[in-house]
Amino acid sequence: MNRIFKTRRWLAAAAAVVVASQLSACAPLVLGSAVGGAFVATDRRTSGAQLEDQGIEIKASSRLKESLGERAHINVNSYNRLALLTGEVASEADRQLAERTVAQVENVQKVVNELGIMGASSLTARANDVLIATKVKATLVDARDVHSNAFRVVVERGEVYLQGMVTEREGQRAAELAASVSGVQRVIKVFHLISEEELARRTPKAPEQPNERPSHR
């Protein structure tokens, strides 16, 4: 599968998501984080950290629903136990309550609170975020100097949040690529930075090819 075909598949998938979301008001709208995670074939986190992140997202979302109900629109994306909060709340008090609620969830090491104090975003705005997330991820896939699977892309109100376990070099390059995508208002880096040496240790080595034997006729 060549790189162009990959990109086209990304755009087709995003279009399908947006159409489905607009056709049914009852259907959940898939946000940038979900679109960004669809291409995960490798992950630099340990399997234990991946499971903990899944648990953090589920528990945090449930507790936020209990504490804030329908008066807030909050997305929780956890990567290597760092919980990113995006969305909208009605007041500063709710913003702080959301942060305290998530900070108390088991295994959370840090909370990055990017909640805006404003009315909840519209379905149209969220659909636009889906498209932006898809274009950013496709741009990372097409780039030859970054590993797209190392990044999670979250988009809220046109602002792109990049998560991942990456080197400073990788993070800077990914941010530059994301900023070049049309519709992106701002790029926020929420990385777990590692050294080039640690990256080399975490990168799987390609299997050695067996030596070809000369054919005998």
The Cα–Cα gap between 68 and 96 comes to 11
Q: Which residue type is seen at 24?
A: S
Q: What is the pLDDT of residues 62-84, one digit of tens each?
A: 999 999 999 999 999 999 999 99
Which of these, 168, 153, 156, 159, lies nearest to 187 by C-alpha position? 159
pLDDT, position 209 = 64
Alpha-carbon torsion, ordered 40, 44, 47, 48, to 10 deg: -130
pTM: 0.79
Q: What is the pLDDT of residues 154-187, one digit of tens each?
A: 999 999 999 999 999 999 999 999 999 999 999 9
- Taking the CA atoms of 164, 170, 175 and 177 in sequence, report the sign of the dihedral they define: negative
Question: What is the residue extent of each domain of the chain?
Answer: 3-200
**Contact criterion met (CB below 8 Å) for 178 and 187:** yes
Q: What is the DSSP string of 183-213?
A: T--EEEEEEEE--HHHHHHHSPPPPPPPPPP
- Which of 41-45, 75-79, 122-126, 154-158 is the least confident region? 41-45
Confidence band (pLDDT; 50, 70, 90) for 211?
low
pLDDT, position 151 = 97
